Chains A and B, each alone.
Chain A
Amino acid sequence: MKYIDEFNDPQLARRLLDEIRATATEPWALMEVCGGQTHSIIRHGIDQLLPEQVELIHGPGCPVCVTPLEVIDKALEIASRPGVIFCSFGDMLRVPGTDRDLFRVKGEGGDVRVVYSPLDALELARGNPDREVVFFAIGFETTAPANAMAVHQARRLGLSNFSLLVSHVRVPPAVEAIMTAPECRVQGFLAAGHVCSVMGMAEYPELAERFRVPMVVTGFEPLDILEGIRRAVRQLERGEHRVENAYPRAVREEGNPAAVRMIEEVFEVTDRNWRGIGRIPASGWRLTDAFRAYDAEHRFDVSGIRTEEPAECRAGEVLQGLIKPTECAAFGTTCTPRTPLGATMVSSEGACAAYYLYRRMNAPAVQTGGSAQREEVAPVA
């Protein structure tokens, strides 16, 4: 067993794997929704340790990857304006827009700042009353309580120079979109643990019932993931489809009610475009009318943006679990972390980046000459 000694408890990992092996009598395909889990799986070679019958399909749970190109282009446009301080999490710096990224905008003189928390952006707004401070509010349900608090505080403090460029997404509608797609092969889900820390588990029983899929709330450390898989496979073998919590140390049934209340005060559910996937009904949040003044899209005129996706990028299929990154012809050739064509190759949670970083360079399309060193893969431009 290749990587198992790197696990924090190799013995327990071995036991879980043995149990999965003993339980799985039929082929099963499970989807991990969260990009953090995808990285953990690839990094630890969990997919290679599993018995052949159990396949992991990588899901769309990377917020950086699914932020639509149009919104990235809006961010680039706003960040280029004089008088603006544009604040973002570090992950967004190298995400390609139609013809550049935030990193480039900064090089061209834009005031782009990396913040650790949206409250840091709020501080910048307080300290720079003569500048417009815009925060790039992306993320799933885990990030929403933070962004909601930032805008709530801005209103309380009467800050008129702070706004959010919002591109928030929600997991349950994405699960529904995946399950209703005609090509769907997913038979069970590892539900994203930290999303459930906030939202609780109430949204899942209906989905598990309707699509007859087990949904196991799972953390993203290697042992958590093995335990999630073990429980999902056990349910599948028994013909069950329940919601189970395999991450009780961080997830309570009710989630975090205070955080949910704040989200509901500031945001309302809306349809959203997902990069590479398209429109998913009710899959996102936007600011409510009461907070519209803090919406950067209202404050800045960013209409008339024309976007162009690189034709060869198949990130949409990767994000829906329809293909593995290595099945994309551009993977490791024209598309590398240095010359990314899609966001899934640059985000720290993107599936393409995970495969590239952890040297899954065995795709037929990739000529590495036997060497899988990431720096040695020459871009064929």
Chain B
Amino acid sequence: MCLAVPGKVVSIDDSADPLTGLIDFGGVQKQACLEYVSDVKVGEYVIVHVGFALQRLDEESALASLKLFEELGLLEEEFGDAWEQAEKEAGTA
């Protein structure tokens, strides 16, 4: 949960309140609230935590982080099925 994942802003919905955009996290795409980085532009990178963009990030470090997160399976941990994981941990899967 504490993981903040970098992603690329794919599109911005100006009519949404709070301001919302589609973010690409190395293939997984999710909506995120952009209200706290409201002057961000399509194509820029942001750090997203529990569905909220918290800061901008330069492309190079964003891509490096994403690659590492993917290798470590952290993206799966963040976006995967939590129930499945809980079942596995409980030994009931």
Interface residues of A (CB under 8 A from B): 8, 34-36, 43, 61-64, 89-91, 93-94, 103, 114, 116-120, 139-140, 142-143, 145-146, 149, 153, 194, 197-198, 221, 249-252, 256, 258-259, 262, 337-338, 346, 348-349
Contacts and interface: CB of A to CB of B under 8 A. Distances in A.
Contacts of B36: 145, 256, 258-259, 262
A149 B50 contact: no
A43 B3 CA distance: 15
Nearest to B87: A103
Contacts of A90: 1, 82-83, 85-86
Given A43-B72, A145-B36, 16 more contacts: A63-B1, A64-B1, A93-B82, A116-B51, A117-B52, A139-B2, A142-B4, A145-B54, A149-B18, A149-B52, A197-B55, A250-B4, A252-B55, A258-B36, A338-B89, A349-B1
A187 B38 CA distance: 39
B55 A146 contact: no
Cβ-closest 8 pairs across A and B: A117-B51, A90-B82, A93-B86, A114-B82, A146-B52, A259-B36, A91-B1, A197-B55
Contacts of A116: 30, 50-51, 79
B24 interface: no
B89 A142 contact: no
A36 B3 contact: yes
Interface residues on B, range: 35 or more
B93 to A, nearest CB: 11
21 contacts: A35-B2, A63-B2, A89-B50, A94-B86, A94-B90, A116-B51, A117-B52, A140-B2, A143-B2, A145-B52, A145-B54, A146-B33, A149-B52, A153-B18, A197-B55, A198-B54, A221-B68, A250-B57, A259-B54, A337-B89, A338-B89
A146 B57 CA distance: 19
A34 B54 contact: no
Contacts of B37: 256
Nearest to A337: B89
Given A89-B1, A119-B51, A143-B50, A249 B83 contact: no
B1 A338 contact: no
Contact of A348 (B47, B57, B77): B77
Interface string B62-75: 00110110001000
